[in-house]
Chain A
Amino acid sequence: MQELKKDLYLIEKAELLNIIMEKKNALWRLCQICCSYPKLEDHFEVTYSFANGQDLSNYRLIAQRDEEVPSISRVYKSAIYYENEMHELWGLKVENIKQDFHDKLYRIDVETPFLVKEEQKDGE
């Protein structure tokens, strides 16, 4: 685990589930999961944020385009919505989501994931 800045740590995929279990057992709340795709780097960054009272901890995982990240929805049920959102809108592969909406959480007419759509547009 590497500290990127205050309360933000870079973690390996193998460390994720241990961290999640520690947070759950200490009654930390899942604040959010954020997926981003920085323009200068060709990979996904998935940031998990946890809060306990006023405290906040963020853990960042790097995932390649075709790499699967483990789901945490069996530990934190509220993760279902964040993970489905990341898969649907960003195209991030998440394995074993407890409740997979099969790209139907967001009822939008435009084609998703947006990232793929943007690249197709750039290529034209």
Chain B
Amino acid sequence: MGNRSVVPFGPQHPVLPEPIHLDLVLEDEKVLAAIPSIGFIHRGLESLTNKKDFNEMVYVAERICGICSFMHGMSYCMALEDIMNIEVPRRADYLRTIWGEMSRLHSHLLWLGLLADGFGFEALFMHSWRLREKILDMFEVSTGGRVIFSVNTIGGVLKDMPADMLNDFVRQLDEMEKEIRETTAIFLDDYTVKSRLVDVGIITGEDAIRRGAVGPMMRASGINVDMRKNGYGAYNDIDFEVITSNKCDSYARCEVRIGEIFQSIDIIRQCVAKIPDTEINTKVTGMPNGESIIRVEQPRGEAFYHVRANGTKFLDRFRVRTPTFANIPALTQTLQGCQYGDVPLLVLTIDPCISCTER
């Protein structure tokens, strides 16, 4: 038996933009177990329902995360719309889908950059983030914000995108697609990248289910699950296939996310071609009473929203289970048996968003 030791990983670590702590039990260089601790940036956003009314909570929900900000706001609004039996105008559904897919593009490009940075490929990191910057510019043009957009409201959206803006976005995405293909080809084909990703951090499909994994983490283990197939927003009008891989390793997770980048571009094209010309929001009256459970596919996976209202302006319960929280058990599984040097990379492969996790 080798030397056993416990090594702390995080909360401050070069690969972690946000704090999470892992106690790594090592035998020489091999990880035997990983015990996580979270809560370093816990903000208690769920309990703000005691102080903020259900309309103000839209803006609280948007602040759960800086990357999936739009989708958190959208999910919260969808839950309230379900409770209050509000039918959202179809154009608002399409606009939400377009902004949602742009969020996915920006999140996956951000992740590719962080991954490249994680294994020391700085040029690739810069290229990925240069491409991401163009998506942020599109957000700024269409919403006025680059991180928090505040365009969601209960009953629809607050801002419209005119046809010439949408067509310009499609033109820009067409140009970007070529550049993204060149950049992502390096992730998929380069020897140095593959040597860090292939056969590292394997989790089988059955294990992924047992550990409750979600999103690309699960789809990279061959499980065909994508909440967009439930048909919320405009997805029931959109033709797309769920992207999966059977390789079950870190390379597969990278491959799935890259596939989803091109899929998002295609979904935006389809939305722009089909977007109907209707109102963008509907008037909401009364107080919510009842409860709703909503699941949406965020870039990192399935987000679970449970909202319960009691007929007053303050909600009884606002529960958010974010994808990163669901992927922590799967992460601890992939870390078991890995080499110590692979730990930062494996933490990155779940695309951790600690702000989301902390709420």
Binding site for B on A (CB under 8 A): 5, 7-8, 27, 29-32, 34, 36, 38-40, 47, 49, 51, 53-54, 56, 58, 76-78, 80-81, 101, 104-108, 114, 118
A8 touching B293 by the CB < 8 A rule? yes
A77 touching B229 by the CB < 8 A rule? no
Q: What are the residues of chain A within 8 A of B227 when measuring CB–CB?
A: 54
**Smallest CB–CB gap between B97 and chain A, Å?**
18
Q: What are the residues of chain A within 8 A of B229 when measuring CB–CB?
A: 54
Bound form: Cα–Cα A53–B295 in Å: 12
Nearest-CB residue, chain B, relative to A85: B325
Q: Is B86 at the interface (CB under 8 A from chain A)?
A: no
Nearest-CB residue, chain A, relative to B311: A40
Bound form: Cα–Cα A51–B225 in Å: 10
> Shortest 7 CB-CB distances between A and B: which pairs?
A106-B39, A78-B212, A78-B329, A32-B321, A36-B317, A107-B39, A34-B319
A108 touching B39 by the CB < 8 A rule? yes
**Smallest CB–CB gap between A110 and chain B, Å?**
8
Cross-chain contact of B210 among A36, A54, A77, A118 (Cβ < 8 A): A77
B308 touching A38 by the CB < 8 A rule? yes
A76 touching B321 by the CB < 8 A rule? no
A105 touching B304 by the CB < 8 A rule? no
A29 touching B209 by the CB < 8 A rule? yes
- Beyond A29-B209, A30-B212, A36-B319, whether A81 also contacts B325 by CB under 8 A is yes
**Smallest CB–CB gap between B290 and chain A, Å?**
8
B225 touching A31 by the CB < 8 A rule? no
Q: What are the residues of chain B within 8 A of A47 when measuring CB–CB?
A: 306
Q: What are the residues of chain B within 8 A of A114 when measuring CB–CB?
A: 44, 47
Bound form: Cα–Cα A4–B199 in Å: 46
Q: What are the residues of chain B within 8 A of A107 when measuring CB–CB?
A: 21, 37-40
A40 touching B310 by the CB < 8 A rule? yes
**20 additional contacts (CB under 8 A) given A27-B206, A78-B329:** A8-B291, A27-B209, A29-B210, A31-B295, A31-B304, A34-B306, A38-B308, A40-B310, A49-B304, A51-B225, A51-B302, A53-B225, A54-B225, A77-B329, A105-B37, A105-B38, A106-B38, A106-B39, A108-B42, A118-B50
- Beyond A38-B316, A80-B329, A105-B37, whether A31 also contacts B212 by CB under 8 A is yes
**Smallest CB–CB gap between B274 and chain A, Å?**
23
Bound form: Cα–Cα A8–B225 in Å: 21
Most buried by B among A7, A105, A107: A107
**Smallest CB–CB gap between A118 and chain B, Å?**
8
Q: What are the residues of chain B within 8 A of A58 when measuring CB–CB?
A: 293
- Beyond A39-B310, A106-B38, whether A32 also contacts B211 by CB under 8 A is no
Q: Is B98 at the interface (CB under 8 A from chain A)?
A: no
Nearest-CB residue, chain A, relative to B227: A54
Bound form: Cα–Cα A114–B42 in Å: 13
**Smallest CB–CB gap between B354 and chain A, Å?**
12
**Smallest CB–CB gap between B12 and chain A, Å?**
13
Q: Is B326 at the interface (CB under 8 A from chain A)?
A: yes
B39 touching A38 by the CB < 8 A rule? no
